[in-house]
Amino acid sequence: MWREIFEEFPSAESRPPADRDTLDRIEAALGQSIPRGLKELLLESNGLEDEYGTEVIWTTERILDDNRSFRGNEQYRTLYMPFDPLLFFGDNGGGDQFAFVRTPQRDEVFVWDHETDSRTDIAPTLERYVRSALESDGEDWYR
C-alpha cells in the first residue's frame, strides 16, 4: 500500500525497507509498540522525505535515538509535559514533532509544538498524515 502512495508523489524520497528485528528492538528499548501502520510503512521504506528534504517519516535509527533523547533529557522534564506517552516519528523541519500517543494507544497523528508544549490531533490516520505532508508546499500544513 505505501509504495503506491509514494509513487503518487514522485518528488518524495523513500529508502530501502527496515527489517523486523530493528522494529522489535525499538519496541523493546522504548517499552511500547510501534503502531501497525507505521510498522508497515517502515517495512516498505525506512524513512521518507518530502521534496524539500523534510523527514516526513524518520528512519528507524532516528525514531529510537530521538525518542530516547526526549525522554532522557533532564532539562526537558522541567520544561515540558512527559514525553513517555508519545512515539515521535517525524518533524516539520522547524522544531515541531509528529507523534502517536501510545498511552493510551491511539491511531491519530499528533503534532507537538516545541514552543507551547501543545499536543494537537492533526490527522486521523498515518495515511492521511503522509498524504497531507506530501501534498503541502510548506512546513506548517497542519495549522
User: Are the C-beta atoms of residues 60 and 41 closer than 8 Å to each other?
Assistant: no
**Is residue 69's pLDDT more than 80?**
yes
Domains of the chain: 2-135 (3.40.1580.10)
Instruction: Report the pLDDT value the prediction gives residue 139, as an integer from 0 to 100.
Output: 59
Mean pLDDT of 18-36: 97
pLDDT-derived band at 141 (thresholds 50, 70, 90) equals confident
Please report, rounded to a whole number, the percentage of residues in the chain having pLDDT higher than 90.
Answer: 90
**Contact predicate 48/14, CB 8 Å:** yes
Per-residue pLDDT for 63 more than 80?
yes
Query: What pLDDT sits at residue 75?
Result: 95
Name the grid cell of 24: 522489535
103-140 residue pLDDT tens: 999 999 999 999 999 999 999 999 999 999 999 876 57
DSSP string, the chain: -HHHHHHT-TTSEE-PPP-HHHHHHHHHHHTSPPPHHHHHHHHH-S-EE-TTS-EEE--HHHHHHHHHHHHH-HHHHHHSS-STTEEEEEE-SSS-EEEEEETTEEEEEEEE-TTT--EEEEESSHHHHHHHHHH-SSTTTT-
**pLDDT averaged over every residue in the chain:** 95
Predicted confidence at residue 142, as pLDDT, reads: 87
Please give the pLDDT value at position 138.
65
Taking Cα atoms as reference points, which of 77, 81, 88 lies closest to residue 30?
88
Task: Pick the closest to residue 133 from 3, 1, 36, 8 (CA basis).
Answer: 8
pLDDT in tens, 70-96: 999 999 999 999 999 999 999 998 899
